[in-house]
Structure 1
Amino acid sequence: MTTTESIERTQEFAGKRALVTGGTRGIGASVVRHLLDAGAEVLTTARSETSTLPQGATFVKADVGTHSGVEALASAAQEKLGGIDIVVHNAGGARPYEGVTAIPDEEWQGALDLNYLAAVRLDALLAPGMRERRSGAIIHVSSAAVLTPLAPYLHYTAAKAALENYSKGLALELAPFGIRVNTVSPGRTATPGGEETRKEWAEMSARTGGGSALTQADDSTPLGRDGLPEDIAQAVLFLVSDRASWLTASNLVVDGGEFPRG
């Protein structure tokens, strides 16, 4: 790459306004840092601010798993940035249970609210502005685990499966307005949230005697390592950039070959 090309690439998001949910640590924080480095103005959100918030980002405290949290975030984005050109729905998660029938109703609803409906609600508030400008890029962060769902996390993967289906439908509706909608599905990634998940999984395995579904998290990926937040962030940045101008309604699985598929 020439020096001129390098300069152009580092500022490829200059003038763009981006919103990243769950952007204070892990994958979200990496996405925020890369967008900032490439010239974007970035607003991010989480339920609480942490010391890992990337320098230069605007932070808004909000719980996107609630109607009021989503509405407050959309209002703040309009007030602070005047509109949004890039949306990365990264906030998500759920705790494991010992089986599908052990997952209580409130956990099913909570998983849907955070991992699926948060994106639906926020898109509904931000997409109209993108339609008026006839441009925009939306990324929904799903999970490669949707490909082989496990009972302890079925409420999570079911919500992510709904998110993927919704993402494709939204992409087709918004395409005539110049708005691209894609999904990124990470495999096992070395993040604080991932570490917490593995700890919970290990504790559950100890309680239940350890079944094959619970020990799959210990298997190595074909590429021999866990993913890094950087790996996922690079996929996100590609999809929101003009380099992916002919990509929409796609799902980019970034998993080191963890979930082979045809």
Structure 2
Amino acid sequence: MWMPIFDAVGRRRRSALRQLAGFVGACMLALWACGGALASSQASTAQERVPDARVLRAWIGGTNLGAIAPDAENADVAIADRVLDGFEAGTSGLATHDGRFVTWGFKFGEGNQQSVAVYDSDGRMMLAVIVSNVVRLDDGVTPAIRSMKVYRERIRRAGARPHVLVFAPNRAKLEAAFPLFARWLQADLLGFNADCTRTREVCALAARVRIPVRAFIAWGGDALPRRTTVPSIPAAPIPLADFVQ
């Protein structure tokens, strides 16, 4: 006599559980789809901001790196080609609250050969940057570096020569965009995805590291980019955690 009642109660419970499971599953699927769409959107946006080869060559010209920096790696490679090489893989990007955008990547198979581009709110390129041989404070493999002395020793042991070449169409754009690039460089030293609440010392050290930078004004056409002084401007106050790769 009691069995049918118990069976009915059990059926109702099982039905409710199935409905709950279906609801949770639908929510999870929606979240997954939205997350995937967001990630895809961010990736495609960064990819769309990779410098256009024709625009870049028209702006910087066909000058080889060796003509302006004889000691640079790949001295026999055209400046524009080296910039484009640095976007072959790992393309990522960040939009700022004022509409500017920084995108970066690295050469396929050579993560120490990077490139960066900074755009204004109208999508016009303000900076094209060649970044070579940066030794990171936190590479995700060895213990993070917390002192300048240890960092210099790491560079010496690696036999690396970190250096940066920055190109801008004029002085005004160089000064306007350089703080954003400077902040990117700090994030690069931290290996991106930084959590400065856990690694305060390392993040503080990143702000003190000075990687050799040379800046140039690129006139376009066949004109040789002219060297200029590197802006002495603080890095943009963007949270380092915002630079994600």
Q: Quick one: higher RCO (CA 8 Å, sep 6+), 1 or 2?
A: 1
TM-score for both structures, normalised by structure 1: 0.27
Q: Write 1 or 2 for the structure with the bigger share of helix.
A: 1
Normalised to the residue count of structure 2, the TM-score between the two structures is 0.28
Task: Find the structure with the greater CA-based Rg.
Answer: 2
